[in-house]
Structure 1
């Protein structure tokens, strides 16, 4: 797995979204370039479908959702809705599992200013859904908290971070 490199991340806010709003239903679309290794993060009220290659569907889509009195960062990787056979779906599943840590590091780091406005979200749970018609690849996993990903990218966070 390639390590997350902040210098390869490009962030775009989709108006009216800003670094500090909205919280609820704040959506992230993370795509990448296979040629350059660059990552592209769009943050807005809606997913940035203009950046998604609908033939490949290798983006991470995520959003903040209220759940049982707290916010949860819920993400999704598209594995297969039948357009890929089971063998290729398995390969996609393994690739997304391998790249999830880097993708989440980019997403959290790219929106780090947001967390300075809402530091209590640093300890919110992150769940990623692997979406597939094949039951063995249709799963949801807990991926820690935003604090863990920011600490990897920028170092230990203090109580005021």
Structure 2
């Protein structure tokens, strides 16, 4: 895969989260800069809403248990009531293209967690696309998180 430039990824651990501790809840917020192409990953017990902006192009993800199996479940906003259909189409295309890089950033950015807890490497990833337009509202499977190492 290797879409990620690790030199452009900045990782922050919030209080009650550290690189190797599987303390729950463990949530991720990924934002980016359009001007520098830098990615900013925050890991912590809460989503880092304070790092988001009005463009709403962040990706949230969290570890959940489903049928006794750990999964990484993410959320992206494609369109709300202030988004036109053409904007929604463009946002959907961008998220579809960029999600492999985002998942690579999650895996690389939290690599010490995966090294300390290799059983999480096989966890499946699901992303929920939220939209006021039904054609963009879906949950998509991205396979195991290790696919993005």
TM (norm. structure 2) is 0.95
- Bigger relative contact order (CA 8 A; separation at least 6): 2
Residue of structure 2 in register with 1:109 after alignment: 108
The answer to whether structure 1 residue 36 and structure 2 residue 36 are counterparts is yes
The CA RMSD measured in Å over matched residues stands at 1.2
Counterparts of residues 17-32 of structure 1 (less than 5 Å): 17-32=17-32
Note if contact 1:63-1:73 (Cα within 8 Å) is conserved in structure 2.
Answer: yes
Residue 125 (structure 2) pairs with residue 146 (structure 1)? no
**Matched residue, 1:48:** 48
Q: Is the 8 A contact 2:29 2:58 kept in 1?
A: yes
Partners of 1:14 and 1:58 in 2: how far apart? 21
- Residues 95-126 of structure 1, C-alpha deviations (whole Å, 9 max, x = no match): 10010001110111100000112101100100
Q: Is the 8 A contact 1:11 1:40 kept in 2?
A: yes
SS state of the match for residue 11, structure 2? strand
In the other structure, the counterpart of 1:153 is: none
**Runs of 5+ in structure 2 lacking a partner?**
none
- Greater strand share, 1 or 2? 2
Aligned to 2:5: 5
Structure 1: unaligned runs, 5 residues or longer: 151-161
Aligned equivalents of 1:48, 1:22: Cα separation in 2: 18
Q: Paired residue for 1:60?
A: 59
The structure 1 segments of at least 4 consecutive aligned residues displaced by more than 3 Å after TM superposition are none
